[in-house]
Amino acid sequence: MSERVLTGRVALVTGGSRGIGRATAVALAAAGADVALAYGRGTAEAAAVASEVRAHGVRVVALEADLRDARAAADLVDRTLSELGALDIVVNNAGITRDGLAVRLSDEDWAQVIAVDLTAAFHICRAALRPMLRKRHGRIVNVSSVSGVIGNAGQVNYAAAKAGLVGMTKSLAREVATRDITVNAVAPGFIETEMTAALPEAARQAAVDAIPMRRMGTAEEVAAAITFLVSPGASYITGHVLHVDGGLGA
């Protein structure tokens, strides 16, 4: 997006120190938004992303938070308001995986993924909606996954969390639409990130072969979709799940 259509807006991006979160923070900054960059680990990485964001002439603050802690998740909203004075855009991108077949999946691996990938997003949305409702304006984008739409063997916890984000997105969209608050989701497929880079080569090739476009996507392609959804051009779109998956979920 070449125009600075988000000038004067403040965005909170979770999982902002790498992958889709990093690309989104930079894309929003390029569109003119000030950015609160939330991260769970990797202070040096977060500082590097903050420098990228700042290079676009906007304000940026890096906020460390353990999203397994409900209070820490909700507090990100207050910290953003305190540091940057407003909150107009929320991108719930933070996520973890603890893969394993259901019969071998531990209670801990189930609980951790649900806590970070779904529950933290709810706590952030709930906290963010209060100032957005008062302002009568807001944009929320939840980063789901193609796994939450079509399922994926070995990822029952991750798929459940990401499917939960879809349901949450659609329900929240109906609740707040009259206040000029839109709530949408993106469902990325296989994207070139640290997570997919760790796949064994055979698994990686099998994934690519299953994609109609025969390639993995980039974090920047997902970030472009998110930036569109929070832009003025998407003001009549809410409750939508935008697939960014090369046709995998078609």
Q: Are 118 and 164 in contact (CB under 8 A)?
A: yes
Closest CA to 25 of 69, 61, 73: 61
Find all residues with CB under 8 Å of 69, minimum gap 6, and list them: none
Distance CA(190)–CA(203), nearest Å, equals 12
- Give φ, ψ of 211 to 5 degrees: -90, 125
Distance CA(153)–CA(114), nearest Å, equals 17
Q: Are 66 and 40 in contact (CB under 8 A)?
A: yes
Query: Measuring CA to CA, how many Å separate 31 from each of 19, 73, 100?
Result: 19, 26, 39
Q: Which residues are catalytic?
A: 158
Treating both helix axes as pointing N-terminal to C-terminal, what angle do 19-30 and 43-54 enclose, rounded to 10 degrees?
20
